Amino acid sequence: MSSYAVLWSEPGRPTRAGKLELEPTGLRLEGSLGERATREVHRIFYEDVETVHVGRSNRERIAGRPSLVIDLAVGGPLRIGSLQGLGVLSDLAEQLGHLTATAISL
């Protein structure tokens, strides 16, 4: 199982920091809004992923950095920013492409 240090954002929700793990059936995001905030776990099944691309526009960025934008069948786009560098986003995008059988736009 691969694990990444990330920021993530969903429509209408604040950005969270934590980790992303690639599990056999989907993505597992675990994190919080701050040190004392309750930890949350959010799962996304691979079958719910419609498209994946690297977002470079201002509205797609997280904390001013490019993000991986995952368009979901339900719930709108999920934006993921790496705390480990841009190369990690490319690696993650490639792995998601294999796991979801989705064409990736880098």
Burial class (CB in 10 A: 0-12, 13-18, 19+), 91: middle
- What is the residue-averaged pLDDT of the chain? 86
What does the pLDDT look like over 43-72, one tens digit per residue? 999 999 988 888 889 989 998 888 999 999
The conformation of residue 94, written as its DSSP 8-state character, comes to: H
Which residue's structure tokens are 């934008």? 69
pLDDT at 1 over 70: no
Identify the CATH assignment for 2-105 out of 3.60.15.10, 1.10.620.20, 2.30.29.30, 3.40.1260.10.
Answer: 2.30.29.30
Q: What is the pTM of this model?
A: 0.85
Domain ranges of the chain: 2-105
User: Which ranges of the chain does DSSP label H, i.e. alpha helix?
Assistant: 86-100
pLDDT band at 105 (very low <50, low <70, confident <90, very high): low
